[in-house]
Structure 1
Amino acid sequence: MTDGGADTADTDVGALGAYLRGVAMGAADAVPGVSGGTIALITGIYDRLIAAFTSASPALVRRVLADLVGDRGDLRTVFREVDGAFLLALGAGIATAILTVTRALDIALESLPVLTYGFFFGLIAASAVVLRHEFRVDTPVRAAAGIGGVVVAFVASGSASAALGVSPAATFVAGAVAVSAMILPGISGSLLLVILGQYERMTDALSAFVDALIALATGGSVAAVVDTSVPVVAFLAGGVVGLLTVAHAVRAALSARREATLAFLVGLVVGALRAPVVRVGEEVPAWTTGVLAEFAVAAVVGALVVLGVERAAGGIDLD
């Protein structure tokens, strides 16, 4: 895997190819349990994506800011160094899919919460199964890391707002954490949002923002767009900061203590299984036999989706 600047020799895809791969990644990232990193692995752009991501750094940002007030011609060099054309096309595809899929999920969470959260449960559970071969818990440190991940996710998944709250600062943190998952096939950014109690809130916020934009095009209020943009902008800003900080920290942790870091990450996945169960409990009066059966069937479907993706990938490799 490339660790330095973006290397386009890996998979030389054009703008359309990058866009379509972005659509597939965005669709995967929109649901907990299926990772956009896995889709990048399947479609042959994983190394190129990681190289482009890790080429972004605070030093690069300072260089860009200096170029904005100095030699702007150097900006083209920076753009090539970060594989900017590839990232723009890929990002456009991811945004297209996320805007589409989150709208559908927002409706599903509202009208079919048991089926939707059951599906999420299956996605998450199968992700933990898929990742079981990626690490060994054969030392006290690794065992402690795995247990720590389970405990953190289990406690944080206790209620829809327990983890971070609903302030712009909380949304910023959620964005910073979620974007770090894009560098790991098998770990979903949406899953981290579920753990943090931000998933349903962010799908609602994004749908409301898109609705306000559509309304503006037909004579709606600018104030509505501004009001609904606050959580979206905070999340995106957090994502940018996460790209420059959290993603690099995850990569450094994997390089220094790969097995322990993976044990912690998979522990997060296992602990997050509490979240869909808690959310269903908040939506229905009681866990009746019918509710349990509905949840279980949806969970099986979700698990089959992840196992099918993993089979297509030929096995996930986090090296």
Structure 2
Amino acid sequence: MAGLRNWAILYLKGIAMGSADAVPGVSGGTIALIVGIYERLIAAVTAIDLGRVRRVLAGVRPTNIPDARAAFHEVDGAFLLVLGAGIGTAVIVVLSGVNYLLASRPIATYGFFFGLIAASAGALLGGVSLDTPRRKAAAVAGFLLAFLASGVASTGLGSSLPVVFLAGAVAVSAMVLPGISGSLLLVVLGQYEYMSGTVSQTVDGLAALVTGNGSDALVETLPTVATFLVGGVVGLFTIAHAVQYALARARSATLAFLLSLVVGALRAPLLEVSVRLAESGESWRAAAPRFALAAVAGAAFVLVLDRYSAAIEY
């Protein structure tokens, strides 16, 4: 019973991480720090390599089962599966809710995101120093990358499968980093609203399939979801490992780069709101009060989280 209880607690921690990862500006890595599983998560993710994956897959042959079990244990597979199930559950539920809010209350929703992102940048400032040319260059590079990427995405980057693949790679890899939100990078790439809508349609498609109302909706969205997930797997093998290597070799410059990504990403929700206002004919002056109120609420949410994680060393 104790083992089952521990797995249930881990699943709930996954739900907390997934809920954070599903909204821009709140890092699932920060939640992992708060609930005490960050180091185990990093160790498990970085233990995954192609050799161990092959050994696990080779377990389909009875003679290879002992070695497959050993490889599965080496990557802490049970931990990753249970945590991943919790994260996946939360992401599906939260993104479905966000999809509704983006359709019905886009100004306030993006205002909330703006507050989340701004407060996240503020919370990270204390741990970043720009006292060397290298760190300053990294900060400028990160800011320009996020700022310019936001502009390109807003002017028609599109949501083709290659773009979705890239979005999955950068978003999933960011989930393991404290302070950087995978959903934030989806906003920068202009894919957040598209993916939240796709996830919502996939859930509806599954419900239709179960109730015998056809599989058309599910078939339509599966290529996008599968491409995103494959991109996420590639991201874990490449981008996440690269960032961990950079943190080990040049921690301060890497943190400066990551923080400046968050600052540069503040442009993304503002551009999204501008698009909505242009479509509706409403002015920024009329929309500003509810945007600002929602931004304050988002910032307050992050500050509460930061208060609980302030004593934890990154």
Matched, 1:235 2:231: no
1:14 to 6, 11, 15: 6
Match runs of 1:101-250 below 5 Å: 101-158=94-151, 160-162=153-155, 164-250=157-243
SS in 1 for 2:19: helix
Question: Which residue of the partner structure matches residue 284 of structure 2?
Answer: 288
Deviates more, 1:285-294 or 1:50-59: 285-294
For residues 157 and 286 of structure 2, what CA distance do their matches in structure 1 show? 33
Which TM-score applies when normalising by structure 1? 0.92
Q: Map Cα deviations across residues 17-61 of structure 1 (whole Å, 9 max, x no partner).
A: 110000111100000011111111111111111111111122322
Matched, 1:297 2:290: no
| Contact 1:185 1:316 survives alignment (8 Å) | no
For residues 126 and 218 of structure 1, what CA distance do their matches in structure 2 show? 43
Shift of the alpha carbon at 1:88?
1.2
Shift of the alpha carbon at 1:315?
4.5
Letter matched to residue 122 of structure 1: G
Shift of the alpha carbon at 1:224?
2.7
Letter matched to residue 242 of structure 1: G
SS in 1 for 2:175: helix
Question: Which residue of the partner structure matches residue 43 of structure 1?
Answer: 35
For residues 21 and 116 of structure 1, what CA distance do their matches in structure 2 show? 25
Deviates more, 1:160-169 or 1:232-241: 160-169
For residues 211 and 67 of structure 1, what CA distance do their matches in structure 2 show? 34
Q: Map Cα deviations across residues 270-296 of structure 1 (whole Å, 9 max, x no partner).
A: 000001110001111343323111111
Rate the CA distance shift 1:129–1:78 in 2: closer, same or farther, 3 A. Answer: same
Question: Which residue of the partner structure matches residue 93 of structure 1?
Answer: 86
Q: Map Cα deviations across residues 72-113 of structure 1 (whole Å, 9 max, x no partner).
A: 321111111111111111111111111111111000001101
For residues 283 and 316 of structure 1, what CA distance do their matches in structure 2 show? 39
For residues 153 and 244 of structure 2, what CA distance do their matches in structure 1 show? 29
Question: Matched residues, percent identical?
Answer: 56
For residues 231 and 193 of structure 1, what CA distance do their matches in structure 2 show? 14
For residues 122 and 191 of structure 1, what CA distance do their matches in structure 2 show? 12
For residues 129 and 139 of structure 1, what CA distance do their matches in structure 2 show? 20
Shift of the alpha carbon at 1:183?
1.8
Matched, 1:57 2:67: no
Shift of the alpha carbon at 1:64?
3.2
SS in 1 for 2:65: coil
Matched, 1:79 2:53: no
Letter matched to residue 197 of structure 1: G
| Contact 1:159 1:279 survives alignment (8 Å) | no
Rate the CA distance shift 1:18–1:172 in 2: closer, same or farther, 3 A. Answer: same
Shift of the alpha carbon at 1:245?
1.2
Match runs of 1:296-315 below 5 Å: 296-315=292-311
Higher helix share: 2
What is the aligned length?
307
Structure 1 unaligned blocks of 5 or more:
1-11
